[in-house]
């Protein structure tokens, strides 16, 4: 798309604002009013902007209000979770256009359904897929893909539903959730923190100066690889810490410790935490010991990063019953660090993926031109 630099700058401001008058666009883009008028006319001619109404100014005069046009397009965000897939289609101003949820094996069908519900007049500008894996570049011409079998086969099965020719970007699911907490969740107002996810697996999203730390191998925060166990008698196992802290091991430990007189042991973490919430002694003991283990992981992260804030997320980690034990163990082992529960729950990953998709979509239209402030 051959747009002038001023038109691209104005488009980026309009997409971020949703709606704006010409004076507001001029202020946001750092351009003169005549230049903005010309840029708006160019965007209207291309169908990228349209007048959506008028607004009264302080002088009593009315000003035209602009919004994105139909040709601005849409983006797709996919959370390819370990058991569930969440998909959202949005306009480039973030407006939700369609969404769907399904099992991981049904990911391609969910993607196809959401794509079919997007406006036919809106070209798809970008796709962001959140995966529970490190991402890497494929062979020449094949783009990004998951680096291991954790998400590789599931991604390949889902990718057949994506339309050809649309840029597809992969991001680690924990990094997506961390970005969501930064912009819309428990870390708003903080530009440095750690997002610690505890669920079926474990992961750490590291945000420093408002940016996600990805690392040389895109593997920053892969705390599953921290050596565990680590003592004189036992050698660390590959991803042994994830095996120990994952939800399956938590339930196995609960089964091992469960008194026969208390009846059947909970088969889900939700049931285990529900019993602990009622004061069930065995459940409280298992949850307390798990909280201490999570606190030790938080202490390890704090020792390296000193983030000032740890946000606990994931199906297990976001449960507020973990907070007292995590805080106590972290305080015992490290320096003062705030610990809070995720504010977004299981929607955090798809929310973060949507934010990234919108940003990528805008870049596709504007060719990455910087917005002046």
* Residue 180: partners with Cβ closer than 8 Å, 6 or more residues away: 344, 347, 348, 349, 351, 352, 355
Q: CA-based angle 220:140:354, to the nearest 5?
A: 50
Cβ atoms of 115 and 161 closer than 8 Å: yes
Two tokens, residue 54: 């008028």
Cα four-point dihedral sign 133, 136, 170, 11: positive
203-207's contacts with Cβ under 8 Å and 24+ in sequence apart are 203/132, 203/172, 203/173, 203/174, 204/174, 204/301, 205/172, 205/174, 205/175, 205/177, 205/178, 205/179, 206/178, 206/305, 206/307, 207/178, 207/179, 207/182, 207/307
Q: Is 109 exposed, middle or buried (0-12, 13-18, 19+ CB in 10 A)?
A: middle
Residue with tokens 């040709």: 71
Cβ atoms of 89 and 117 closer than 8 Å: yes
Q: CA-based angle 134:97:74, to the nearest 5?
A: 60
Which segments of 250-367 are extended strands (E)?
A: 309-313, 338-341
Task: Output the CA–CA distances (angstroms, integers) from residue 157 to 146, 154, 162, 170, 354, in the order listed.
Answer: 12, 5, 10, 15, 21
Cβ atoms of 96 and 332 closer than 8 Å: no
| Residues linked to residue 62 through DSSP beta bridges, in sequence order | 56
User: Is beta strand 96-103 parallel, antiparallel or unpaired with respect to 124-131?
Assistant: unpaired
Mean pLDDT (10-residue bins), the chain, 373 residues: 89 94 94 95 95 75 90 96 94 96 96 96 94 78 78 92 94 96 96 96 96 93 94 91 96 95 94 96 97 98 97 96 97 96 94 96 79 36
pLDDT of residue 123: 94
pLDDT of residue 370: 45
Q: Alpha-carbon distance 198 to 204, whole Å?
A: 9
Q: CA-based angle 320:323:325, to the nearest 5?
A: 135
Q: Alpha-carbon distance 46 to 2, whole Å?
A: 10
Q: Alpha-carbon distance 244 to 6, whole Å?
A: 54
Which helix or strand (DSSP H or E) is residue 11 part of? helix 5-17
Strand order of the β-sheet with 62-68 is 19-21, 62-68, 49-56
Which helix or strand (DSSP H or E) is residue 65 part of? strand 62-68
Residue count of the chain, please give it: 373
pLDDT of residue 279: 95
| Residues linked to residue 67 through DSSP beta bridges, in sequence order | 19, 50
Q: Alpha-carbon distance 137 to 179, whole Å?
A: 22
DSSP state of 346: G
pLDDT of residue 245: 97
Residue 168 backbone dihedrals phi, psi, to 5 degrees: -115, 125
Two tokens, residue 122: 């809106």
């Amino acid at each position: 798309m051959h747009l002038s630099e001023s038109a691209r700058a104005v488009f980026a401001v309009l997409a971020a604002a949703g709606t704006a008058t010409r004076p507001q666009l001029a202020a946001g883009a750092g351009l003169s009013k005549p230049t903005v008028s010309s840029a708006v006319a160019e965007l209207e001619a291309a169908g990228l902007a349209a007048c959506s109404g008028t607004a009264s100014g302080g002088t009593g005069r009315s000003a035209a209000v602009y919004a994105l046009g139909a040709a601005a397009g849409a983006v797709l965000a996919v959370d390819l979770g370990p058991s569930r897939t969440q998909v959202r289609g949005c306009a480039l101003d973030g407006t939700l256009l369609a969404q769907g949820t399904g099992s991981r094996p049904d990911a391609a069908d969910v993607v196809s359904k959401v794509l079919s519900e997007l406006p036919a007049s809106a070209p798809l500008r970008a796709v962001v897929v959140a995966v529970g894996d490190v991402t890497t570049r494929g062979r020449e011409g094949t783009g990004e893909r998951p680096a291991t079998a954790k998400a590789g086969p599931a991604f390949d099965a889902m990718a057949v539903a994506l339309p050809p020719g649309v840029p597809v970007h992969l991001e680690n699911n924990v990094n997506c959730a961390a970005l969501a907490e930064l912009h819309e969740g428990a870390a708003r107002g903080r530009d440095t923190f750690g997002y610690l996810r505890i669920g079926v697996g474990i992961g750490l999203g590291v945000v420093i100066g408002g940016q996600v730390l990805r690392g040389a191998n895109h593997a920053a925060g892969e705390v599953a690889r921290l050596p565990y166990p680590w003592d004189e008698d036992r050698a660390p196992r590959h991803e042994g810490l994830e095996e120990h802290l994952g939800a399956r091991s938590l339930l196995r430990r609960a089964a091992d410790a469960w008194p026969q007189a208390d009846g059947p042991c909970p088969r889900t973490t939700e049931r285990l935490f529900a019993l602990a919430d009622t004061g069930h002694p065995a459940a409280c003991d298992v949850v307390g010991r798990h909280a201490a283990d999570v606190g030790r992981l938080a202490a390890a992260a704090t020792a390296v990063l000193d983030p000032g804030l740890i946000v606990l997320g994931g199906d297990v980690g976001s449960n507020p019953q973990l907070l007292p034990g995590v805080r106590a163990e972290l305080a015992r082992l490290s320096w003062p660090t705030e610990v809070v529960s995720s504010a977004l729950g299981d929607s955090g990953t798809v929310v973060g993926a949507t934010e990234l998709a919108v940003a990528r979509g805008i870049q596709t239209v504007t060719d990455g031109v910087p917005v002046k402030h």
